[in-house]
Amino acid sequence: MPDDQEPGAYLRAALASQPRELSRLLSDDSATVAAERLRGCSRIFVVGTGTSYHGALAGQFILRSAGIEAWAVRAFEFANYPPTLREGDGLILLSHRGSKHFSRRSLDLAEQRAMPWLAVTGEGSALEGEGVVRTVEQEKSPVHTASHTGAMLRLAQIAAALGKPPWRGQLAGLPEAVAAVLEWGDRVAADVRRVELKPVVHFVGGGPARATAYEGALKMREASHLVSAEGHDVEGILHGPLVSIQPGQTVVAIAEPGPALERTREVIRALGEIGAVVIQVGSVTDGYRTTRVDEVLAPIVNVVPLQLLAYEASRLMGVDADSFRRDEPPYAAAQAGFTL
């Protein structure tokens, strides 16, 4: 067990657990069995909030690659501004704990409309039923990492059960690919000390890597508290945000083979002309070169260097990544004013 007096100890332990947890999930066929509930659906909505939405966004591409029409929707929007639902629709809800208000309302809506559903959620979650697919034990850190990679793997198992994706044989190698990333701890710590973290760190990716960019920015905010971060899609950053990036600012770019690669490289070159410091992540980069897997599976691997960046940034800032600032009265009061 981690020493809970050491700042960020729970986050560090969850990071380290990911290869083991992914291996365990691969040996469990419950996602494959549960996927039969969605057999025959002509369209699947993948719904979540925060990190779970980023998992849903990655899942959208995973399911599409298996021949399934899929759309990622934030839980707040699905519950309050739902798309026009029709017969043949299905729902996959992603929720770490199963307790978030709009996630539950999304599931309620699916049941009201007689939509078949699955809920990908953690052990000990408040969600129950035949459609529940478990991931990992509840994380003690509010900065979710292992539950995120676990949820994306569950989505890949569901997609593989419902379709015939070309990447099915690559699933078994994901734990090893993640374990290789976790060996970079010292290198990441050195890079965090080398680059400028303020006023803002930018993250950018295209296609499935957009989900990774969004998640990298969220982890940086959640863990380091004092560092602002923004996540961009690869095309969107060129339509305004680029001109606000100053020389010397840090941008993390996720690059993988696929339709977004050429545009991502153009963005990296443009950032170089500005004088930004670009940290590259992906299987075809000169930076953190991760193991090559299919583009739609790459978020499971490429998010891990960004999790490490966030953890090391929290250490550099001298903050407790596990606190969520609940130990600071103004932030505790702010969080007491609403229910998630």
Supply the DSSP string of 47-105, one letter for each residue.
EESTHHHHHHHHHHHHHHHTT--EEEEEHHHHHHS-----TTEEEEEEESSS--HHHHH
Supply the DSSP string of 149-198, one letter for each residue.
HHHHHHHHHHHHHHS--TTGGGGGGHHHHHHHHHTTHHHHHHHHHHSB-S
Q: Enumerate the β-bridge partners of residue 6.
A: none
Tokens of 166: 């070309």
DSSP class of residue 307 equals H
Q: Enumerate the β-bridge partners of residue 118.
A: 92
Tokens of 72: 């990622």
Q: What local confidence, expressed as pLDDT, does residue 4 receive?
A: 53
CB atoms within 10 A of CB 153: 26
Q: What local confidence, expressed as pLDDT, does residue 5 receive?
A: 74
Cα distances (angstroms) measured from residue 56 to each of 31, 93, 149, 245: 16, 8, 11, 29
For residue 258, is it left (φ>0), alpha (ψ between -120 and 50) or beta? left
What are the chain's domains? 9-169 (3.40.50.10490), 184-317 (3.40.50.10490)
CB 209 within 8 A of CB 256: yes
Helix axes 174-182, 298-317, angle to 10 degrees: 20
Q: What is the mean pLDDT of each run of 10 residues along the chain (340 residues)?
A: 74 99 98 98 98 99 98 98 98 94 96 97 93 97 98 99 98 99 98 96 99 99 97 98 98 98 99 98 97 99 99 98 95 93
Q: What local confidence, expressed as pLDDT, does residue 2 receive?
A: 46
